[in-house]
Structure 1
Amino acid sequence: MSIKFTQSCPICGRRIDVRASLLGCTVACQHCGAEFTANANQSCPAGREHSDELLARVEKALRRAEAAAAVEAEV
C-alpha cells in the first residue's frame, strides 16, 4: 500500500491522488492530461481554508476553557 495525498490539477481543477514518492516530480492529470509538479502543500486550497477555520474554532474553545478554569480556581 502506498501513501498518497490529494492535489488539485492546476488546469481542470479536479482532484487527483498522487503517490507521496512522486513529490517534486512532474505528474500528469488523469482527467485532462495536464502536466504539473506534485506538491503536497498545494493539494487542496479549499482544504487549507477549512483547516484555518478549524484552527480558529479550536483556539476559541481553548480560550473558553482557560477562562472557565480561571473562574473555577477563584471559587
Structure 2
Amino acid sequence: MSIKFTQSCPTCGRRIDVRASLLGCTVACQHCGAEFTATACEESRMGREQTNEDLLDRVEKALRRAEEASMVGVNAEIAP
C-alpha cells in the first residue's frame, strides 16, 4: 500500500490523492487534465495571493485545453 496525500488542483480546485513517491514531480489532475508539481505543503500555495490576472490566466489555459481536446475528437470523426 502506497502512502498518499491530498492536494488541490491549482486549476480546477478539486482535491486529488497523490502518491508520496510523486512529490516534486509533474502530475496531471484526473478531472481537468491540468499539469502541476506535486507538493505536500498547502501553506506555500495558500500564502500567495491570487490576482485577477492569475485567475484569468488559469481560465484561459483551461479553455485552451478544452478546445484542443474537442478538436482531437472532431478530427478523429473526420479521419477516413
Task: Give the equivalent residue in structure 1 for 2:18.
Answer: 18
Task: Give secondary structure in 2 for the equivalent of 1:7.
Answer: strand
Distance 1:25 1:42 in 2: 16
Q: Tell me how far 1:38 sits from its aligned partner.
A: 0.1
Task: Give secondary structure in 1 for the equivalent of 2:21.
Answer: helix
Q: Tell me how far 1:9 sits from its aligned partner.
A: 0.0
What is the TM-score of this pair, normalised by structure 2? Answer: 0.53
How does 1:40-59 map onto structure 2 within 5 Å? 40-42=40-42
Distance 1:42 1:21 in 2: 17
Which protein is richer in helix relative to its size?
A: 1
Task: Give the equivalent residue in structure 2 for 1:39.
Answer: 39
Q: Which runs of 5+ in 2 are unaligned?
A: 47-80
Distance 1:38 1:25 in 2: 6
Q: Which has the larger radius of gyration?
A: 1
| Cα deviation code 1:31-54 (max 9, x no counterpart) | 000000000002895xxxxxxxxx
What is the TM-score of this pair, normalised by structure 1? Answer: 0.56
RMSD, aligned α-carbons: 1.8
Aligned length: 45
Identical aligned pairs, as a percentage? 84
Task: Give secondary structure in 2 for the equivalent of 1:40.
Answer: coil
Q: Which runs of 5+ in 1 are unaligned?
A: 46-75
